[in-house]
């Protein structure tokens, strides 16, 4: 039976809605690691944020399974792969790869409030995991551990949100 003429606009509207792509939420797998050894602080690790440094010389690291994700809901699945050390992961927006986070020398950590911290997976014991979901706008974000001394030991990475 042909559709009722009164229903035709609704049929076109339904067809249009069905053709809109569904946006899936993004999931980023984050690994927090100790890399062992000693670090030569005279080496350029890009500690101010600039990515020109050689992060392989760091004693600790934050790594992600993807360098960029689409804007919207992003879930960070964080695993502390350390065997001995507690770690955490914070997320903050940064203006560029050359941006400097507000670092408090006396505490050997980033000033979380001044950094624009958006959320965190609090201290994770070795082998433990946690997650954080944020609604992120396009831009550049830093993921870092803020336990004293960890950020300066190379424990940060960036994520681009497009």
Q: In this predicted structure, what is the pLDDT of residue 26?
A: 96
C-alpha–C-alpha distance, residues 61 and 58, integer Å? 7
Residues 103-120: b if buried by 16+ CB within 10 A, e if exposed: beeeeebbebeebebeeb
pTM (predicted TM-score): 0.78
Q: In this predicted structure, what is the pLDDT of residue 36?
A: 63
Residue-wise DSSP of 86-141: -EEEEEEEESSTT----EEGGGTEE-HHHHT--EEEEEE-TT-EEEEEEEE-SEEE
Beta strand 109-110 pairing with 139-144: unpaired
Structural tokens at position 116: 């624009």
* pLDDT tens across the length of the chain (162 residues): 555 555 555 554 544 544 444 456 999 999 999 876 544 444 445 445 444 455 556 689 999 999 999 999 999 999 999 999 999 999 999 998 888 889 898 999 999 999 999 999 999 999 999 999 999 999 999 999 999 999 888 899 999 999
Q: In this predicted structure, what is the pLDDT of residue 97?
A: 84
Q: In this predicted structure, what is the pLDDT of residue 143?
A: 96
């Amino acid at each position: 039976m042909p559709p009722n003429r009164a229903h035709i606009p609704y049929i076109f509207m339904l067809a249009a809605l069905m053709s809109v792509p569904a946006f899936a939420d993004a999931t980023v797998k984050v690994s927090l690691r100790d890399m062992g050894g000693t670090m030569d602080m005279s080496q350029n690790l890009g500690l101010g944020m600039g990515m020109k440094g050689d992060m392989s010389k760091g004693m600790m690291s934050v790594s992600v399974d993807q360098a960029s994700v689409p804007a919207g809901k992003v879930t960070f699945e964080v695993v502390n792969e350390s065997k001995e050390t507690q770690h955490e992961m914070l997320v903050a927006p940064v203006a560029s790869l050359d941006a400097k986070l507000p670092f408090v020398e006396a505490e050997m950590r980033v000033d979380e409030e001044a950094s624009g911290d958006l959320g965190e997976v609090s201290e994770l014991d070795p082998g433990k995991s946690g997650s954080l979901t944020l609604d992120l706008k396009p831009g550049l974000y830093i993921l870092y551990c803020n336990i004293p001394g960890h950020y300066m030991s190379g424990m940060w990475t960036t994520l681009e949100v497009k």
